[in-house]
Structure 1
Amino acid sequence: MCINFICKRLGSIPKGWQADSKAQLHFLRNTTPFIVRCFSTSNKHSFTVSYLVNSCGLSPETAISASGKIHFENPKNPDSVLALLRNSGCTNTHITKIVTKFPSLLLVNPEKTLLPKLEFFRSIGFSGAHLASILSSKPSILSRSLENNLIPKYNFLKSVHISNEDAMKVLKRSCWSSSGNLEETIATNIAVLREIGVPISHISFLVVRYHTICQRSDKFSENVKKVVEMGFNPLKFTFLNALQAFCQTTESTRQQKKEIYRRWGWSEDEILLAFRTRPECMRLSEKHVMKVLDFLVNKMGWQPAAVSRDPVAICLNFEKRVVPRCSVVKVLLLKGLVKKDMRSSTFLKLTERDFLDKYVIKHQDNVPQLLDLYQGKVSFAELGFGS
């Protein structure tokens, strides 16, 4: 393989390399690993590598790696595949992403294998840029069997009132790529939920967003029973959150979580109250819980029992929401600008815009550096409130 060919592979030819032997030597030293790989693939895969670079937009390094998985000696089939993708709305950028993630797509039969799948996606409402975005994010969906996977799984999702948009989100998941009895398991679990009165809209939400519904049916039924026995109303959305918490944790893990809260003086009733209010309390790490409660109790001065009654702060992002918002409210409390008995959820659950309007901008005349405190640019001490 000559230097010219190597330089073309790299996409550039160093200026003056032919006239300057030192520059040539320096260039070769810096590209030796790439050159070795080029030599190793030049005979058998040179056309494949060249095609991946020139027609699909892959980098030389990525093309060489992909050539270890696919090989072709003429562009007829790959050209047809790319033409179908372009006709379906894929740009060069989309095609580069698709081929990088799923290079063997170039080898499929474009008319018999690829086209029917693209037509299926169009038939359920996905075309143009939207379809191109889906394919470039998860091109492996094109490896699924249309008759044995995509169509039956789509029909099943529609039978439980899943929208086309959400059905596509589910189909893209790797767990839905198998042809096993996943639908049977989900159907059994859905029947359990329907029997106790869970609204179909809540069930659809569970199917789309949580893997809980895929849990083994006997274990799922057991967890549903426990959540009902704890007093959660199947008609309310918190029931789903509680079920998710139970399905994601074991009994021993839940006992460990309870022990963490006991260290802060919570009684069994207070722990149960917090869990009923915010079921995700049982899924948080010990490190996170300890950090948040230390801040709320020791720095903010809140009573542990008050936190258990309104535990929203434990479940939110500590650095981005809890600390800055609580810091602002603490200053406003000390200044007498807000009520002392205000619940934390009152200000922690607000949107960013609403919080700024109601608690920062509104009081800037009284506390000029309130925005700086909120943004972490000044501390309590710098505002004259001690540490």
Structure 2
Amino acid sequence: MFGFCFRRLQSLVPSCSSISVQSSATRFQKASPFSRLYSSLLSVSEIDDVKPKDAKDQSFTVSYLINTIGFPPEVALSLSKKRRVRFRSPKQPDSVIRHLKDYGFSDTDVSQMVKKHPALLLVSAERTLVPKLEFLCSIGITGTDLTRLLCRKPVLLNYSLEISLRPCYNIIKTLPIGDGQLGLFLRNWCRILSVRVLQNAASNVAYLRSLQVPEYSISLCASYYLFAVSRDTAKFKEYVGKVISMGFSPSSTTFVKAVYVFALMKGKKWSERLKHYREWGWAEDDVLTAFRKSPSFMFLSVENVSIKLDFFVNNMGWQPADIAEHPAVLTYSMEKWIIPRCSVIRILLLKGLIREGEYSIASLMLRRDPFLNRFVNKYQEQVPELLSIYEGKLV
């Protein structure tokens, strides 16, 4: 049995002296250290997973990924197991790397891209890679914008230039994407980029304009809420109708945020959230009031909200309806924001330095300097430890 496994190992991992590649690949024939290392990585089960006819390709692929791309052996081995990544000659991957460097990509950039999208090494540099790079440069994505985009989203190079990239760009030009923001837009939405998605977005943006939604809000939709605004137009209009029926004005800054919430929350989840807030003593009007003021609070998990409501109701003595008037407070961090500020206020109350009417829930949402001036600096002489409490050093 041992002899059989050893022969299988020899067939899969030939010694460096037996690896025959063309002269341009001599740098990969760095003798026994790699052979020993690679052999030690392969268990019998891994060997049995590789068909003999693929073994030579996999062996060369691992060698190339280690010696040229700089991957650790375990990463190279993992990538080489994908059939679409195996190759037996350095000609094509060398060509891809050379052209990427011509466009300003560093060794580190190339390594990042290949790790995320290893099949990139096997594309035709002249027919496939270069035309796409030239296109991206022609629409203003050059230099560091180009390397940043493709290092983050190398899968973008999978898209067909004529069927996808060029038609998508023609639609994107009709959307309110700011100057210099195209690269960021493509990074954010690369995974859902398609002609159909962008056509929906363009149609829905036109619908928002017909409702006199401010251009600033529409830009938010195109830049950050594309997932919502790219829904089927009939469905999108349904979300908009629900939001308007709740009392939102299309001209308000929270209008598109509310549409976004509805687009992402299924009806069942919305009902679950309503039930949860009712259990904490909120009337349905309280929930609607809070939603109109801060739509994003509906995204908070039940566990997250429960911890904060328990603290506000049972530790601070606030009424549920009061919290509903300031729902954004539920989005703040307990450890970094709520507890330190509430601790300061409770100490001031206990020492009689402020009365109940001299602060409100809105006080917690003040920026750092206004809060410090109003509740910390003013009382430093009477309570020297207030700043330490605010900074979380004392509780």
TM-score (norm 2): 0.81
In 2, Cα distance between equivalents of 1:290 and 1:271: 15
Secondary structure, aligned partner of 2:181? helix
Alignment of 1:160-309 (within 5 A): 160-163=175-178, 165-172=180-187, 173-179=189-195, 181-210=196-225, 211-309=227-325
In 2, Cα distance between equivalents of 1:358 and 1:248: 39
In 2, Cα distance between equivalents of 1:228 and 1:378: 47
Residue 135 in 1 paired to residue 161 in 2?
A: no
1:48 aligned partner, one-letter code? T
Supply the RMSD in Å over aligned alpha carbons.
Answer: 2.9
Aligned to 2:361: 344
Conservation of the 8 A alpha-carbon contact between 2:344 and 2:390:
yes
Residue 101 in 1 paired to residue 116 in 2?
A: yes
In 2, Cα distance between equivalents of 1:61 and 1:223: 49
Segments of structure 2 that go 5 or more residues without pairing to the other structure are: 1-13, 17-29
In 2, Cα distance between equivalents of 1:177 and 1:10: 45
Aligned to 2:19: none
1:273 aligned partner, one-letter code? T
Specify whether residues 232 and 48 from structure 1 end up closer, same or farther in structure 2 by C-alpha distance, changes over 3 A only. same
In 2, Cα distance between equivalents of 1:121 and 1:227: 38
In 2, Cα distance between equivalents of 1:338 and 1:130: 53
TM-score (norm 1): 0.82
Specify whether residues 79 and 372 from structure 1 end up closer, same or farther in structure 2 by C-alpha distance, changes over 3 A only. same
Aligned to 2:131: 116
Residue 64 in 1 paired to residue 77 in 2?
A: yes
Specify whether residues 131 and 375 from structure 1 end up closer, same or farther in structure 2 by C-alpha distance, changes over 3 A only. same
Specify whether residues 97 and 370 from structure 1 end up closer, same or farther in structure 2 by C-alpha distance, changes over 3 A only. same
Number of residue pairs the alignment of both structures matches: 360
- Structure 1 residue 37, shift from structure 2 partner: 5.1
Aligned to 2:34: 8
- Structure 1 residue 362, shift from structure 2 partner: 5.5
Aligned to 2:26: none
1:322 aligned partner, one-letter code? I
* CA deviations over 1:47-74 (Å, ceiling 9, x no partner): 2221211111122222222223323332
* CA deviations over 1:342-384 (Å, ceiling 9, x no partner): 333344252x5665566445644433333443344433xxxxx
Among 46, 54, 60, the residue aligned to 1:47: 60
Aligned to 2:394: 378
Conservation of the 8 A alpha-carbon contact between 2:200 and 2:232:
yes
Conservation of the 8 A alpha-carbon contact between 1:77 and 1:107:
yes
In 1, Cα distance between equivalents of 2:63 and 2:74: 11
Conservation of the 8 A alpha-carbon contact between 2:41 and 2:74:
no
Specify whether residues 32 and 142 from structure 1 end up closer, same or farther in structure 2 by C-alpha distance, changes over 3 A only. closer
Residue 151 in 1 paired to residue 166 in 2?
A: yes
Secondary structure, aligned partner of 2:318? coil
Deviation larger for 302-311 or 222-231? 302-311
